Structure 1
Protein backbone atom coordinates (compact mmCIF):
# COMPACT_ATOMS: atom_id res chain seq x y z
CA UNK A 1 0.00 0.00 0.00
CA UNK A 2 1.37 3.44 -0.93
CA UNK A 3 1.53 6.36 1.47
CA UNK A 4 0.02 9.73 0.62
CA UNK A 5 2.79 11.99 -0.56
CA UNK A 6 1.56 15.19 1.10
CA UNK A 7 0.62 16.20 4.65
CA UNK A 8 -3.06 16.38 5.41
CA UNK A 9 -5.10 17.72 8.27
CA UNK A 10 -8.31 16.17 9.43
CA UNK A 11 -10.54 16.70 12.40
CA UNK A 12 -11.31 13.50 14.18
CA UNK A 13 -13.45 12.66 17.16
CA UNK A 14 -13.30 9.64 19.39
CA UNK A 15 -10.83 7.65 21.40
CA UNK A 16 -7.31 7.32 20.05
CA UNK A 17 -4.52 5.00 21.11
CA UNK A 18 -1.26 6.60 22.13
CA UNK A 19 0.68 4.23 24.38
CA UNK A 20 -0.21 0.50 24.65
CA UNK A 21 0.69 -2.01 27.34
CA UNK A 22 -0.27 -5.68 27.98
CA UNK A 23 -3.66 -6.12 29.63
CA UNK A 24 -6.99 -4.40 29.13
CA UNK A 25 -7.70 -0.77 28.29
CA UNK A 26 -11.05 0.46 29.57
CA UNK A 27 -12.61 3.85 28.88
CA UNK A 28 -15.69 5.77 29.89
CA UNK A 29 -17.70 8.31 27.95
CA UNK A 30 -16.20 11.79 28.07
CA UNK A 31 -16.58 15.08 26.31
CA UNK A 32 -15.28 14.86 22.72
CA UNK A 33 -12.05 16.77 22.02
CA UNK A 34 -11.31 18.24 18.64
CA UNK A 35 -7.70 17.72 17.44
CA UNK A 36 -5.83 18.51 14.26
CA UNK A 37 -4.42 15.28 12.76
CA UNK A 38 -1.38 15.25 10.48
CA UNK A 39 -1.06 12.21 8.16
CA UNK A 40 1.97 10.90 6.25
CA UNK A 41 4.41 12.84 8.38
CA UNK A 42 6.51 9.79 9.38
CA UNK A 43 7.39 6.28 8.25
CA UNK A 44 5.87 3.22 9.90
CA UNK A 45 8.40 0.36 10.16
CA UNK A 46 7.40 -3.05 11.54
CA UNK A 47 10.29 -5.39 12.32
CA UNK A 48 12.50 -3.30 10.04
CA UNK A 49 10.07 -3.32 7.08
CA UNK A 50 8.33 -0.11 6.02
CA UNK A 51 4.55 -0.40 5.83
CA UNK A 52 2.45 1.58 3.34
CA UNK A 53 -1.20 2.26 4.28
CA UNK A 54 -3.65 3.85 1.82
CA UNK A 55 -6.92 3.69 3.69
CA UNK A 56 -7.41 6.86 5.79
CA UNK A 57 -9.10 5.04 8.65
CA UNK A 58 -6.05 2.81 9.15
CA UNK A 59 -3.38 5.49 8.75
CA UNK A 60 -1.22 6.49 11.76
CA UNK A 61 -1.13 10.21 12.40
CA UNK A 62 0.25 12.92 14.66
CA UNK A 63 -2.06 15.01 16.82
CA UNK A 64 -1.27 17.27 19.72
CA UNK A 65 2.43 16.37 19.34
CA UNK A 66 1.64 12.69 19.88
CA UNK A 67 1.74 9.72 17.50
CA UNK A 68 -1.51 7.73 17.24
CA UNK A 69 -1.89 4.31 15.64
CA UNK A 70 -5.36 2.69 15.29
CA UNK A 71 -5.71 -0.67 17.00
CA UNK A 72 -7.16 -2.12 13.81
CA UNK A 73 -3.93 -1.16 12.03
CA UNK A 74 -1.83 -2.98 14.62
CA UNK A 75 -4.14 -5.98 14.24
CA UNK A 76 -3.67 -6.00 10.46
CA UNK A 77 0.10 -5.62 10.75
CA UNK A 78 0.26 -8.52 13.19
CA UNK A 79 1.84 -6.42 15.92
CA UNK A 80 -0.82 -7.04 18.55
CA UNK A 81 -4.12 -8.78 18.94
CA UNK A 82 -6.68 -6.17 20.09
CA UNK A 83 -10.29 -7.15 20.83
CA UNK A 84 -13.18 -4.85 21.81
CA UNK A 85 -15.30 -6.08 24.69
CA UNK A 86 -18.58 -4.15 24.51
CA UNK A 87 -19.94 -5.68 27.72
CA UNK A 88 -17.21 -4.08 29.79
CA UNK A 89 -16.34 -1.28 27.38
CA UNK A 90 -12.76 -2.53 27.33
CA UNK A 91 -10.08 -3.15 24.76
CA UNK A 92 -8.13 -6.33 25.48
CA UNK A 93 -4.60 -6.25 24.03
CA UNK A 94 -2.06 -9.09 23.81
CA UNK A 95 1.17 -9.09 21.79
CA UNK A 96 0.96 -11.03 18.55
CA UNK A 97 2.16 -14.60 18.95
CA UNK A 98 1.35 -14.88 22.65
CA UNK A 99 0.10 -18.39 23.33
CA UNK A 100 -2.99 -19.16 25.27
CA UNK A 101 -2.86 -21.54 28.21
CA UNK A 102 -4.27 -24.28 25.96
CA UNK A 103 -1.49 -23.78 23.46
CA UNK A 104 1.09 -23.81 26.22
CA UNK A 105 -0.29 -27.10 27.51
CA UNK A 106 -0.18 -28.54 23.97
CA UNK A 107 3.42 -27.48 23.53
CA UNK A 108 4.30 -28.95 26.89
CA UNK A 109 2.75 -32.27 25.86
CA UNK A 110 4.66 -32.22 22.59
CA UNK A 111 7.87 -31.38 24.43
CA UNK A 112 7.29 -34.26 26.86
CA UNK A 113 6.71 -36.63 23.94
CA UNK A 114 9.91 -35.44 22.29
CA UNK A 115 11.82 -36.01 25.53
CA UNK A 116 10.52 -39.59 25.65
CA UNK A 117 11.62 -40.11 22.05
CA UNK A 118 15.01 -38.59 22.85
CA UNK A 119 15.49 -40.94 25.79
CA UNK A 120 14.57 -43.90 23.60
CA UNK A 121 17.00 -42.80 20.90
CA UNK A 122 19.71 -42.25 23.51
CA UNK A 123 19.18 -45.79 24.82
CA UNK A 124 19.24 -47.12 21.26
CA UNK A 125 22.49 -45.23 20.58
CA UNK A 126 24.05 -46.68 23.76
CA UNK A 127 22.99 -50.20 22.74
CA UNK A 128 24.46 -49.71 19.26
CA UNK A 129 27.68 -48.39 20.77
CA UNK A 130 27.93 -51.44 23.03
CA UNK A 131 27.22 -53.74 20.06
CA UNK A 132 29.87 -51.93 18.01
CA UNK A 133 32.39 -52.44 20.82
CA UNK A 134 31.52 -56.14 21.01
CA UNK A 135 31.83 -56.61 17.25
CA UNK A 136 35.11 -54.70 17.25
CA UNK A 137 36.47 -57.08 19.88
CA UNK A 138 35.34 -60.05 17.77
CA UNK A 139 37.07 -58.61 14.70
CA UNK A 140 40.30 -58.06 16.65
CA UNK A 141 40.15 -61.62 17.92
CA UNK A 142 39.64 -63.00 14.42
CA UNK A 143 42.50 -60.85 13.10
CA UNK A 144 44.83 -62.17 15.79
CA UNK A 145 43.82 -65.74 15.05
CA UNK A 146 44.25 -65.15 11.33
CA UNK A 147 47.61 -63.46 11.81
CA UNK A 148 48.72 -66.26 14.09
CA UNK A 149 47.64 -68.81 11.50
CA UNK A 150 49.32 -66.84 8.70
CA UNK A 151 52.45 -66.44 10.78
CA UNK A 152 52.60 -70.17 11.44
CA UNK A 153 52.05 -70.89 7.76
CA UNK A 154 54.72 -68.39 6.70
CA UNK A 155 57.21 -69.79 9.19
CA UNK A 156 56.66 -73.28 7.81
CA UNK A 157 57.05 -72.00 4.24
CA UNK A 158 60.29 -70.24 5.16
CA UNK A 159 61.72 -73.39 6.70
CA UNK A 160 60.72 -75.45 3.68
CA UNK A 161 62.29 -72.94 1.28
CA UNK A 162 65.49 -72.81 3.32
CA UNK A 163 65.67 -76.63 3.32
CA UNK A 164 65.14 -76.70 -0.45
CA UNK A 165 68.01 -74.29 -1.05
CA UNK A 166 70.38 -76.09 1.33
CA UNK A 167 69.61 -79.65 0.22
CA UNK A 168 69.26 -79.25 -3.52
CA UNK A 169 72.54 -79.24 -5.49
CA UNK A 170 70.78 -77.12 -8.10
CA UNK A 171 70.67 -74.23 -5.64
CA UNK A 172 73.35 -74.96 -3.04
CA UNK A 173 76.20 -75.30 -5.56
CA UNK A 174 77.36 -73.00 -8.34
CA UNK A 175 79.86 -74.17 -10.96
CA UNK A 176 81.80 -71.26 -12.35
CA UNK A 177 84.67 -70.94 -14.83
CA UNK A 178 88.02 -72.59 -14.15
CA UNK A 179 89.45 -69.65 -12.26
CA UNK A 180 86.33 -69.58 -10.01
CA UNK A 181 85.60 -73.26 -9.56
CA UNK A 182 82.69 -74.77 -7.67
CA UNK A 183 81.16 -72.68 -4.90
CA UNK A 184 79.02 -74.24 -2.18
CA UNK A 185 76.47 -72.05 -0.37
CA UNK A 186 74.61 -72.24 2.92
CA UNK A 187 71.26 -70.42 3.00
CA UNK A 188 69.36 -68.57 5.67
CA UNK A 189 65.87 -67.32 4.69
CA UNK A 190 63.68 -64.76 6.43
CA UNK A 191 60.71 -62.54 5.56
CA UNK A 192 59.56 -59.08 6.54
CA UNK A 193 56.12 -57.91 5.39
CA UNK A 194 56.18 -58.50 1.63
CA UNK A 195 59.96 -58.76 1.39
CA UNK A 196 61.84 -62.05 1.27
CA UNK A 197 65.41 -61.90 2.55
CA UNK A 198 67.90 -64.58 1.50
CA UNK A 199 71.41 -64.72 2.92
CA UNK A 200 73.99 -66.87 1.10
CA UNK A 201 77.20 -67.87 2.92
CA UNK A 202 80.35 -69.37 1.34
CA UNK A 203 81.88 -71.70 3.99
CA UNK A 204 85.01 -72.29 1.89
CA UNK A 205 86.17 -68.70 1.78
CA UNK A 206 87.00 -67.40 -1.69
CA UNK A 207 90.27 -65.69 -2.45
CA UNK A 208 90.34 -62.19 -3.84
CA UNK A 209 91.23 -63.57 -7.31
CA UNK A 210 88.24 -65.92 -7.16
CA UNK A 211 85.96 -63.06 -6.20
CA UNK A 212 87.31 -61.02 -9.12
CA UNK A 213 86.71 -63.95 -11.49
CA UNK A 214 83.21 -64.40 -10.11
CA UNK A 215 82.57 -60.70 -10.70
CA UNK A 216 83.75 -61.07 -14.30
CA UNK A 217 81.49 -64.12 -14.71
CA UNK A 218 78.43 -62.02 -13.77
CA UNK A 219 76.23 -63.11 -16.72
CA UNK A 220 76.09 -66.76 -15.64
CA UNK A 221 76.06 -65.90 -11.96
CA UNK A 222 73.14 -63.47 -12.48
CA UNK A 223 71.18 -66.31 -14.13
CA UNK A 224 71.88 -68.49 -11.10
CA UNK A 225 70.66 -65.75 -8.73
CA UNK A 226 67.53 -65.25 -10.83
CA UNK A 227 66.75 -69.00 -10.66
CA UNK A 228 67.01 -68.78 -6.87
CA UNK A 229 64.67 -65.78 -6.78
CA UNK A 230 62.03 -67.40 -8.99
CA UNK A 231 62.08 -70.51 -6.82
CA UNK A 232 61.54 -68.34 -3.75
CA UNK A 233 58.57 -66.54 -5.35
CA UNK A 234 56.82 -69.86 -5.91
CA UNK A 235 56.24 -69.99 -2.15
CA UNK A 236 55.96 -66.23 -1.60
CA UNK A 237 54.09 -64.80 -4.55
CA UNK A 238 54.61 -61.12 -5.39
CA UNK A 239 57.38 -60.84 -2.80
CA UNK A 240 60.41 -58.71 -3.57
CA UNK A 241 63.48 -60.91 -3.10
CA UNK A 242 66.60 -59.45 -1.51
CA UNK A 243 69.74 -61.59 -1.68
CA UNK A 244 72.97 -60.88 0.21
CA UNK A 245 76.15 -62.90 -0.38
CA UNK A 246 78.77 -63.35 2.34
CA UNK A 247 82.27 -64.75 1.97
CA UNK A 248 82.65 -67.11 4.94
CA UNK A 249 80.45 -68.95 7.45
CA UNK A 250 77.61 -66.99 9.08
CA UNK A 251 78.94 -67.94 12.52
CA UNK A 252 82.35 -66.39 11.91
CA UNK A 253 81.61 -62.77 10.94
CA UNK A 254 81.80 -63.22 7.16
CA UNK A 255 82.42 -60.37 4.72
CA UNK A 256 79.62 -59.18 2.47
CA UNK A 257 80.66 -59.37 -1.19
CA UNK A 258 77.40 -58.85 -3.10
CA UNK A 259 73.77 -57.68 -3.09
CA UNK A 260 70.91 -58.55 -5.46
CA UNK A 261 67.25 -57.64 -5.77
CA UNK A 262 64.56 -59.40 -7.81
CA UNK A 263 61.07 -57.91 -8.27
CA UNK A 264 59.64 -60.57 -10.58
CA UNK A 265 60.72 -58.83 -13.77
CA UNK A 266 64.46 -58.48 -13.62
CA UNK A 267 67.47 -59.05 -11.40
CA UNK A 268 69.59 -56.12 -10.24
CA UNK A 269 72.78 -56.05 -8.22
CA UNK A 270 76.35 -57.30 -8.46
CA UNK A 271 79.37 -58.78 -6.76
CA UNK A 272 81.34 -55.96 -5.16
Structure 2
Protein backbone atom coordinates (compact mmCIF):
# COMPACT_ATOMS: atom_id res chain seq x y z
CA UNK A 1 0.00 0.00 0.00
CA UNK A 2 1.22 3.50 -0.76
CA UNK A 3 1.81 5.16 2.58
CA UNK A 4 -0.42 8.07 3.58
CA UNK A 5 -0.08 10.13 6.72
CA UNK A 6 -2.53 11.94 8.96
CA UNK A 7 -0.61 13.72 11.73
CA UNK A 8 -3.37 13.82 14.35
CA UNK A 9 -6.32 11.59 15.09
CA UNK A 10 -9.05 14.25 14.88
CA UNK A 11 -11.81 15.27 12.44
CA UNK A 12 -10.74 16.98 9.24
CA UNK A 13 -11.45 20.65 8.69
CA UNK A 14 -14.48 19.73 6.57
CA UNK A 15 -16.06 18.07 9.60
CA UNK A 16 -15.84 14.54 8.21
CA UNK A 17 -14.85 12.05 10.93
CA UNK A 18 -11.35 10.67 10.54
CA UNK A 19 -12.56 7.09 10.43
CA UNK A 20 -14.66 7.90 7.33
CA UNK A 21 -11.58 9.26 5.57
CA UNK A 22 -9.52 6.25 6.61
CA UNK A 23 -12.30 3.98 5.31
CA UNK A 24 -12.31 5.86 1.99
CA UNK A 25 -8.53 5.65 1.64
CA UNK A 26 -8.50 1.96 2.48
CA UNK A 27 -11.32 1.29 0.02
CA UNK A 28 -9.34 3.08 -2.69
CA UNK A 29 -6.33 0.87 -2.02
CA UNK A 30 -8.50 -2.24 -2.10
CA UNK A 31 -10.04 -1.20 -5.42
CA UNK A 32 -6.68 -0.57 -7.06
CA UNK A 33 -5.72 -4.18 -6.39
CA UNK A 34 -3.02 -3.52 -3.78
CA UNK A 35 -4.69 -6.23 -1.70
CA UNK A 36 -6.17 -8.88 -4.05
CA UNK A 37 -9.71 -10.15 -3.39
CA UNK A 38 -9.66 -12.78 -0.68
CA UNK A 39 -6.29 -11.71 0.72
CA UNK A 40 -6.15 -10.94 4.42
CA UNK A 41 -5.62 -7.30 5.40
CA UNK A 42 -2.77 -6.31 7.70
CA UNK A 43 -3.67 -6.16 11.38
CA UNK A 44 -5.13 -3.09 13.06
CA UNK A 45 -1.77 -2.06 14.49
CA UNK A 46 -0.11 -2.06 11.07
CA UNK A 47 -3.05 -0.28 9.47
CA UNK A 48 -2.94 2.36 12.22
CA UNK A 49 0.73 2.99 11.47
CA UNK A 50 0.02 3.01 7.74
CA UNK A 51 -2.72 5.65 7.98
CA UNK A 52 -1.27 7.62 10.91
CA UNK A 53 -4.37 7.02 13.01
CA UNK A 54 -5.26 5.23 16.23
CA UNK A 55 -6.27 1.58 16.31
CA UNK A 56 -9.75 2.62 17.47
CA UNK A 57 -10.12 4.82 14.38
CA UNK A 58 -8.97 1.96 12.14
CA UNK A 59 -11.44 -0.35 13.90
CA UNK A 60 -14.27 2.10 13.15
CA UNK A 61 -13.16 2.41 9.52
CA UNK A 62 -13.14 -1.36 9.11
CA UNK A 63 -16.62 -1.54 10.60
CA UNK A 64 -17.87 1.00 8.01
CA UNK A 65 -16.57 -1.19 5.17
CA UNK A 66 -17.86 -4.32 6.89
CA UNK A 67 -21.39 -2.88 7.16
CA UNK A 68 -21.31 -2.07 3.44
CA UNK A 69 -20.35 -5.66 2.61
CA UNK A 70 -16.88 -4.70 1.37
CA UNK A 71 -15.02 -6.62 4.08
CA UNK A 72 -15.58 -9.98 5.72
CA UNK A 73 -14.01 -11.01 9.01
CA UNK A 74 -13.32 -14.47 10.36
CA UNK A 75 -10.92 -15.91 12.91
CA UNK A 76 -7.99 -15.28 10.55
CA UNK A 77 -8.77 -11.58 10.23
CA UNK A 78 -10.45 -9.31 7.67
CA UNK A 79 -10.29 -9.68 3.90
CA UNK A 80 -11.71 -7.74 0.97
CA UNK A 81 -14.86 -9.03 -0.69
CA UNK A 82 -14.77 -6.69 -3.69
CA UNK A 83 -15.50 -8.31 -7.07
CA UNK A 84 -12.37 -9.39 -8.88
CA UNK A 85 -10.14 -12.24 -9.91
CA UNK A 86 -9.18 -14.70 -7.17
CA UNK A 87 -5.78 -14.39 -5.60
CA UNK A 88 -2.96 -16.02 -7.51
CA UNK A 89 -2.80 -19.76 -7.11
CA UNK A 90 0.04 -20.80 -4.85
CA UNK A 91 0.76 -23.62 -7.32
CA UNK A 92 2.44 -21.04 -9.60
CA UNK A 93 4.60 -19.80 -6.74
CA UNK A 94 6.45 -22.94 -5.75
CA UNK A 95 9.27 -22.33 -3.28
CA UNK A 96 12.18 -22.04 -3.78
CA UNK A 97 12.73 -20.46 -7.18
CA UNK A 98 13.86 -23.20 -9.54
CA UNK A 99 12.23 -26.05 -7.61
CA UNK A 100 10.93 -28.69 -9.97
CA UNK A 101 7.14 -28.61 -10.28
CA UNK A 102 6.65 -32.29 -9.50
CA UNK A 103 6.38 -33.66 -5.99
CA UNK A 104 9.72 -34.20 -4.21
CA UNK A 105 11.57 -37.18 -5.67
CA UNK A 106 14.45 -39.39 -4.61
CA UNK A 107 16.92 -36.95 -6.15
CA UNK A 108 15.51 -33.96 -4.25
CA UNK A 109 16.87 -32.81 -0.91
CA UNK A 110 15.71 -29.88 1.26
CA UNK A 111 16.88 -28.95 4.76
CA UNK A 112 16.78 -25.94 7.08
CA UNK A 113 19.37 -24.65 9.53
CA UNK A 114 19.45 -21.86 12.10
CA UNK A 115 22.73 -20.15 11.23
CA UNK A 116 24.37 -16.99 9.95
CA UNK A 117 23.40 -16.53 6.28
CA UNK A 118 25.88 -15.68 3.50
CA UNK A 119 27.09 -12.06 3.81
CA UNK A 120 25.25 -11.03 0.62
CA UNK A 121 22.03 -12.42 2.05
CA UNK A 122 22.52 -10.72 5.41
CA UNK A 123 22.99 -7.36 3.69
CA UNK A 124 19.89 -7.82 1.52
CA UNK A 125 17.75 -8.76 4.54
CA UNK A 126 19.08 -6.03 6.82
CA UNK A 127 20.63 -8.52 9.25
CA UNK A 128 23.70 -7.70 11.28
CA UNK A 129 26.79 -9.70 10.22
CA UNK A 130 26.86 -13.04 12.00
CA UNK A 131 23.25 -12.85 13.17
CA UNK A 132 21.57 -16.23 12.64
CA UNK A 133 18.33 -16.78 10.78
CA UNK A 134 16.45 -19.58 9.08
CA UNK A 135 18.45 -20.82 6.06
CA UNK A 136 16.89 -23.28 3.60
CA UNK A 137 18.93 -25.45 1.23
CA UNK A 138 17.50 -27.26 -1.77
CA UNK A 139 19.21 -29.65 -4.19
CA UNK A 140 17.74 -31.59 -7.10
CA UNK A 141 19.07 -33.70 -9.97
CA UNK A 142 17.57 -35.89 -12.66
CA UNK A 143 17.87 -39.67 -12.50
CA UNK A 144 21.12 -39.68 -14.49
CA UNK A 145 22.64 -36.96 -12.29
CA UNK A 146 22.34 -34.19 -14.88
CA UNK A 147 20.35 -30.97 -14.65
CA UNK A 148 21.49 -30.34 -11.10
CA UNK A 149 19.90 -27.43 -9.23
CA UNK A 150 21.01 -26.06 -5.87
CA UNK A 151 19.37 -23.18 -4.02
CA UNK A 152 20.16 -21.40 -0.75
CA UNK A 153 17.43 -19.22 0.79
CA UNK A 154 17.71 -16.94 3.80
CA UNK A 155 14.61 -15.57 5.52
CA UNK A 156 14.38 -12.15 7.17
CA UNK A 157 13.39 -11.39 10.74
CA UNK A 158 10.15 -9.93 9.33
CA UNK A 159 9.25 -13.19 7.59
CA UNK A 160 9.86 -15.20 10.74
CA UNK A 161 7.85 -12.76 12.87
CA UNK A 162 4.89 -12.56 10.47
CA UNK A 163 4.65 -16.13 9.17
CA UNK A 164 3.88 -18.64 11.90
CA UNK A 165 4.58 -21.69 9.75
CA UNK A 166 8.14 -20.51 9.08
CA UNK A 167 8.80 -19.57 12.71
CA UNK A 168 7.96 -23.12 13.79
CA UNK A 169 11.00 -24.44 11.96
CA UNK A 170 13.48 -22.64 14.21
CA UNK A 171 13.38 -25.31 16.90
CA UNK A 172 14.10 -28.14 14.45
CA UNK A 173 16.45 -26.38 12.04
CA UNK A 174 19.41 -28.68 12.58
CA UNK A 175 20.59 -28.67 8.96
CA UNK A 176 20.09 -32.43 8.62
CA UNK A 177 16.39 -33.34 8.81
CA UNK A 178 14.30 -33.06 5.66
CA UNK A 179 12.23 -29.86 5.48
CA UNK A 180 9.92 -29.22 2.53
CA UNK A 181 8.90 -25.54 2.41
CA UNK A 182 7.21 -25.68 -0.98
CA UNK A 183 4.21 -23.76 0.37
CA UNK A 184 6.30 -20.95 1.88
CA UNK A 185 4.89 -18.31 -0.49
CA UNK A 186 1.37 -19.51 0.22
CA UNK A 187 2.04 -19.18 3.96
CA UNK A 188 3.30 -15.63 3.44
CA UNK A 189 0.20 -14.67 1.47
CA UNK A 190 -2.07 -16.21 4.10
CA UNK A 191 -0.28 -14.07 6.69
CA UNK A 192 -1.49 -10.98 4.82
CA UNK A 193 1.75 -10.25 2.94
CA UNK A 194 1.69 -9.12 -0.69
CA UNK A 195 4.72 -10.63 -2.41
CA UNK A 196 6.92 -8.70 -4.84
CA UNK A 197 9.53 -10.79 -6.63
CA UNK A 198 12.65 -9.55 -8.39
CA UNK A 199 14.66 -12.21 -10.22
CA UNK A 200 18.12 -11.54 -11.62
CA UNK A 201 19.35 -14.18 -14.08
CA UNK A 202 23.03 -14.39 -15.00
CA UNK A 203 24.89 -16.94 -17.13
CA UNK A 204 28.18 -17.81 -15.46
CA UNK A 205 31.20 -17.30 -17.70
CA UNK A 206 32.92 -20.42 -19.09
CA UNK A 207 30.34 -22.76 -17.52
CA UNK A 208 27.00 -24.23 -18.59
CA UNK A 209 25.44 -22.91 -15.37
CA UNK A 210 22.96 -20.13 -14.78
CA UNK A 211 22.62 -18.18 -11.55
CA UNK A 212 19.24 -16.83 -10.45
CA UNK A 213 18.95 -14.47 -7.48
CA UNK A 214 15.42 -13.88 -6.25
CA UNK A 215 14.59 -11.13 -3.77
CA UNK A 216 11.11 -10.96 -2.26
CA UNK A 217 9.65 -8.06 -0.29
CA UNK A 218 6.17 -7.23 0.97
CA UNK A 219 3.77 -4.34 0.40
CA UNK A 220 5.74 -2.24 2.89
CA UNK A 221 9.03 -2.88 1.00
CA UNK A 222 10.27 -5.02 3.91
CA UNK A 223 12.57 -7.83 2.74
CA UNK A 224 11.19 -11.32 3.28
CA UNK A 225 13.68 -13.67 1.67
CA UNK A 226 16.54 -13.95 -0.79
CA UNK A 227 17.33 -17.08 -2.77
CA UNK A 228 20.51 -17.89 -4.70
CA UNK A 229 19.92 -20.65 -7.27
CA UNK A 230 22.51 -22.38 -9.46
CA UNK A 231 21.27 -24.46 -12.40
CA UNK A 232 23.15 -26.76 -14.73
CA UNK A 233 21.47 -25.40 -17.84
CA UNK A 234 22.92 -27.69 -20.49
CA UNK A 235 19.62 -29.51 -20.91
CA UNK A 236 17.21 -27.78 -18.55
CA UNK A 237 15.00 -24.76 -19.13
CA UNK A 238 13.91 -22.38 -16.40
CA UNK A 239 10.24 -21.43 -16.57
CA UNK A 240 8.78 -18.56 -14.55
CA UNK A 241 5.05 -17.91 -14.35
CA UNK A 242 3.57 -14.62 -13.17
CA UNK A 243 0.03 -13.28 -12.94
CA UNK A 244 -0.76 -9.58 -13.16
CA UNK A 245 -4.23 -8.11 -12.62
CA UNK A 246 -5.94 -6.45 -15.57
CA UNK A 247 -5.93 -2.63 -15.64
CA UNK A 248 -9.07 -1.03 -14.24
TM-score (norm. length: structure 1): 0.17
Q: Which has the higher contact order (CA 8 A, sep 6+)?
A: 2
Query: Between Structure 1 and Structure 2, whose CA radius of gyration is higher?
Result: 1
Q: Which has the higher helix share?
A: 1
TM-score (norm. length: structure 2): 0.18
